[in-house]
Structure 1
Amino acid sequence: MSTEIKAPVFPESVADGTIATWHKQPGEQVSRDELLVDIETDKVVLEVVAQNDGVLKEIIKAEGDTVLSSEVVGIFEEGATGSAGGSKDEAPAAKEETAQEADEDDLKVNPAARKLAEEKGVQLSAVKATGKDGRITKEDVLNHIKAEKEAPAAAPAPKAESAPAPASAPSMPSFNAGERAEKRVPMTRLRATIAKRLVSAQQNAAMLTTYNEVDMKAVMELRSQYKDMFEKKHDGVRLGFMGFFVKAATEALKRFPSVNASIDGNDIVYHGYQDIGVAVSTDKGLVVPVLRDVDAMGLADIEGGIVDYAKKAKQGKLGIEEMQGGTFTITNGGVFGSLMSTPILNPPQTAILGMHKIQERPMAINGQVEIRPMMYLALSYDHRMIDGKEAVQFLVTIKELLEDPARILLDV
Structure 2
Amino acid sequence: MAIEIKVPVLPESVADATIATWHVKPGESVSRDQNLVDIETDKVVLEVVAPDDGVISEIIKEEGDTVLQEEAIAKFEAGASGDAKADSSDDKKDDSSNESKKDDKKEEAKSDKEETSSADLDVLSPAVRRLVAEHNLDPKQIPASGKGGRLTKEDVEKFIKDGGASAKSSESKKDSGSAPVSAGLREEKRVPMTRLRKRIAERLVEAQHTAAILTTFNDINMKEVVELRARYKEQFEKVHGTRLGFMSFFVKATVEALKRYPAVNASIDGDDIVYHGFYDIGVAVSSPRGLVVPVLRDADTMSLAEIEAKIREFGEKARDNKLTVEDMTGGTFTISNGGVFGSLMATPIINPPQSAILGMNRMEDRPVVINGEIVIRPMMNVALSYDHRIIDGRESVGFLKTIKEFIEDPARMLLDL
Same fold (TM over 0.5): yes
* Structure 2 counterpart of 1:61: 61
Q: Using a 3 Å threshold, how does the CA distance of structure 1 residues 384 and 59 change in structure 2: closer, same or farther? A: same
Q: Using a 3 Å threshold, how does the CA distance of structure 1 residues 383 and 85 change in structure 2: closer, same or farther? A: farther
Query: Aligned Cα RMSD in Å?
Result: 3.2
* Structure 1 counterpart of 2:152: none
**1:163 and 2:161 equivalent?**
yes
Aligned-partner residue type, residue 141 of structure 2: N
Structure 1 residues 3-41: Cα deviation after superposition (integer angstroms, max 9, x where no partner): 111111112221111111111111111111111111110
Higher helix share: 2
Q: Extract structure 1 runs of 4+ deviating beyond 6 A.
A: 84-91, 93-97
SS at match of 1:356: strand
Query: In structure 1, what is the Cα distance between the partners aligned to 2:162 and 2:341?
Result: 29
Q: Using a 3 Å threshold, how does the CA distance of structure 1 residues 238 and 216 change in structure 2: closer, same or farther? A: same
**1:199 and 2:205 equivalent?**
yes
The alpha carbon displacement at 1:179 in A equals 3.8
Aligned-partner residue type, residue 47 of structure 1: E
Aligned-partner residue type, residue 163 of structure 1: K
Structure 1 residues 214-236: Cα deviation after superposition (integer angstroms, max 9, x where no partner): 0000000000000011000012x
Q: Using a 3 Å threshold, how does the CA distance of structure 1 residues 85 and 195 change in structure 2: closer, same or farther? A: farther
Query: In structure 2, what is the Cα distance between the partners aligned to 1:40 and 1:57?
Result: 23
Structure 1 residues 348-406: Cα deviation after superposition (integer angstroms, max 9, x where no partner): 00000000000111000100000000000000000001011000000000000000000
Query: In structure 1, what is the Cα distance between the partners aligned to 2:112 and 2:237?
Result: 58
SS at match of 2:256: helix
* Structure 2 counterpart of 1:268: 273
* Structure 2 counterpart of 1:26: 26
The alpha carbon displacement at 1:141 in A equals 5.6
The alpha carbon displacement at 1:118 in A equals 5.5
* Structure 1 counterpart of 2:147: none
Query: In structure 2, what is the Cα distance between the partners aligned to 1:293 and 1:301?
Result: 11
Q: Using a 3 Å threshold, how does the CA distance of structure 1 residues 192 and 96 change in structure 2: closer, same or farther? A: farther
Q: Using a 3 Å threshold, how does the CA distance of structure 1 residues 314 and 73 change in structure 2: closer, same or farther? A: same
Q: Using a 3 Å threshold, how does the CA distance of structure 1 residues 77 and 221 change in structure 2: closer, same or farther? A: same
* Structure 2 counterpart of 1:168: none
The alpha carbon displacement at 1:162 in A equals 6.3
SS at match of 2:191: coil
Query: In structure 1, what is the Cα distance between the partners aligned to 2:281 and 2:131?
Result: 40
How is 1:13-412 mapped onto 2 (pairs within 5 angstroms)?
13-83=13-83, 92=93, 119-120=112-113, 142-144=140-142, 163=161, 178-235=184-241, 237-412=242-417
Question: Identical aligned pairs, as a percentage?
Answer: 61
Query: In structure 2, what is the Cα distance between the partners aligned to 1:34 and 1:92?
Result: 31
Query: In structure 2, what is the Cα distance between the partners aligned to 1:278 and 1:38?
Result: 25
Aligned-partner residue type, residue 43 of structure 1: K
Query: In structure 1, what is the Cα distance between the partners aligned to 2:388 and 2:30?
Result: 55
Q: Using a 3 Å threshold, how does the CA distance of structure 1 residues 84 and 223 change in structure 2: closer, same or farther? A: farther
Q: Using a 3 Å threshold, how does the CA distance of structure 1 residues 410 and 8 change in structure 2: closer, same or farther? A: same
Structure 1 residues 68-110: Cα deviation after superposition (integer angstroms, max 9, x where no partner): 122211111111111599699766379999xxx9xxxxxxxxx
Structure 1 residues 308-352: Cα deviation after superposition (integer angstroms, max 9, x where no partner): 001100110100111000000000000000000000000000000
The alpha carbon displacement at 1:180 in A equals 2.2
How many aligned residue pairs are there? Answer: 366
Q: Using a 3 Å threshold, how does the CA distance of structure 1 residues 204 and 274 change in structure 2: closer, same or farther? A: same
**1:9 and 2:9 equivalent?**
yes
Query: In structure 2, what is the Cα distance between the partners aligned to 1:337 and 1:6?
Result: 44
